[in-house]
């Protein structure tokens, strides 16, 4: 039984990826880490990282590459870099953990694999409490078509463990076919595809944030600062496997975002924090975010009209 961690990164996400790898190792996890290229300028891999390697697409079987090409052809609204997380199903590990870069490990992720057991997918998030608002244009219609509880199987595609099965590829394509038959119900991205697939195929899945485990929320936006995290863990003896800074690009100025500087030296941290504070004070960061949102909106409109 081989186990490992997959990340997807490029030069733009390099700082977050470096901090993520630092946190993984700092928490005691020594599992091999493989970085799949997102596209664009490749990430620079630090030679001091132990058992961390940038893999090329050519290392995956032709079947896996063809699968990603098919997903991209049928979901052109989603950047192909995000869809490459599905290459994990064709990788070297019998069991894998996939993680986005905007995440900080808080526990030894090697221990999480023990929860797979009878399950094919394990995650720890409160995505199910959003009632489908980030995956479905018509959440009520989705549950009407799929049956009661369909919104409860939602998973954050940015962090999960999986034991790949031979039927998973067909299940994902069946989920995609359902999306094509009900085009106005889901949002057209990779996380919605995973949600639809779980609702149709009913993979045995475990959410550690649900009873009886009741792990703490992994969304960084749920905490005001690091003290809030410590208080949450100690008050209820509640594990928090990781923090996910999803929902936008972190500015680096909020107290909870201090964890994104974990791998920096004191001098590096001060420089980056000063840069972030100046960017925020002068309005540069908000202007940059405005244009990024506008660009994404234009791209979505173009793809939807194509």
Q: Are residues 31 and 120 in the same domain?
A: yes
* Boundaries of domain holding 220: 3-250
Report the C-alpha gap between 250 and 261 in whole angstroms.
Answer: 12
Sign of CA dihedral 277, 279, 283, 286: negative
166: CATH: 3.90.550.10
Q: Does residue 7 sit within a domain?
A: yes
Classified as helix, coil or strand, 51 is coil
Domain boundary among 221, 250, 279: 250
H or E segment at 85? none
Report the C-alpha gap between 165 and 155 in whole angstroms.
Answer: 18
Q: Are residues 190 and 301 in the same domain?
A: no
Q: Are residues 147 and 70 in the same domain?
A: yes
CB 232 within 8 A of CB 149: no
Q: Are residues 131 and 280 in the same domain?
A: no
Please list, residue by residue across 157-183, b when 16 or more beta carbons sit within 10 angstroms of its beta carbon and e when fewer do.
Answer: bbbbbbbbeeebbebbbebbebbeebe
Report the C-alpha gap between 82 and 291 in whole angstroms.
Answer: 21
Confidence (pLDDT) at 296: 46
Q: Does residue 300 sit within a domain?
A: yes
Q: Are residues 304 and 246 in the same domain?
A: no
Q: Residue 6: name the closest of 93, 101, 99 by CA.
A: 99
Q: Does residue 256 sit within a domain?
A: no
Q: Could you tell me the pTM of the whole model?
A: 0.90
Q: What angle do CA 102, 39, 133 make, to 5 degrees?
A: 45
Q: Does residue 258 sit within a domain?
A: no
Confidence (pLDDT) at 304: 44
Q: What angle do CA 260, 56, 111 make, to 5 degrees?
A: 50
Report the C-alpha gap between 55 and 35 in whole angstroms.
Answer: 6
Q: Mean pLDDT for each consecutive 10-residue tract of the chain (306 residues)?
A: 97 96 98 97 95 95 97 96 98 98 98 97 97 96 96 97 97 98 97 98 97 96 94 90 88 89 92 88 60 47 44
Q: Are residues 124 and 66 in the same domain?
A: yes
CB 33 within 8 A of CB 115: no
Q: Are residues 134 and 167 in the same domain?
A: yes
Lookup: tokens for 140: 């009520």
Q: Say if strands 121-123 and 52-54 run parallel, antiparallel, or are unpaired.
A: unpaired
């Amino acid at each position: 039984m081989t186990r490992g961690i997959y990340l997807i990164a490029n030069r733009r996400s390099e700082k977050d990826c470096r901090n993520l790898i630092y946190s993984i190792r700092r928490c005691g996890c020594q599992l091999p880490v493989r970085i799949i290229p997102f596209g664009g300028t490749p990430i620079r891999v630090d030679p001091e990282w132990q058992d961390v390697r940038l893999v090329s697409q050519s290392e995956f079987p032709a079947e896996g590459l063809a699968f990603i090409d098919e997903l991209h052809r049928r979901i052109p609204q989603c950047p192909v870099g995000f869809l490459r997380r599905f290459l994990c199903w064709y990788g070297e590990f019998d069991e894998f953990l996939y993680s986005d870069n905007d995440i900080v490990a808080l526990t030894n992720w090697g221990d999480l694999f023990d929860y797979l057991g009878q399950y094919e997918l394990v995650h720890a998030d409160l995505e199910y409490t959003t009632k489908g608002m980030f995956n479905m244009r018509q959440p009520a219609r989705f549950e009407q078509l799929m049956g009661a509880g369909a919104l409860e199987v939602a998973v954050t595609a940015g962090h999960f463990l999986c034991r790949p099965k031979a039927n998973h590829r067909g299940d994902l394509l069946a989920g995609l076919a359902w999306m094509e038959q009900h085009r106005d119900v889901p949002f057209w991205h990779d996380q919605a595809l995973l949600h639809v697939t779980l609702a149709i195929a009913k993979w045995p899945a475990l959410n550690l944030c649900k009873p009886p485990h009741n792990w703490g929320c992994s969304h960084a936006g749920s905490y005001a600062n690091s003290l809030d995290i410590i208080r949450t863990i100690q008050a209820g003896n509640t594990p928090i496997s990781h923090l996910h800074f999803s929902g936008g690009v972190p500015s680096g100025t909020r107290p909870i975002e201090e964890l994104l500087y974990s791998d920096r030296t004191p001098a590096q941290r001060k420089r980056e924090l000063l840069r972030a504070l100046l960017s925020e004070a002068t309005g540069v960061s908000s202007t940059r975010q405005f244009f990024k949102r506008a660009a994404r909106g234009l791209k979505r409109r173009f793809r939807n009209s194509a």
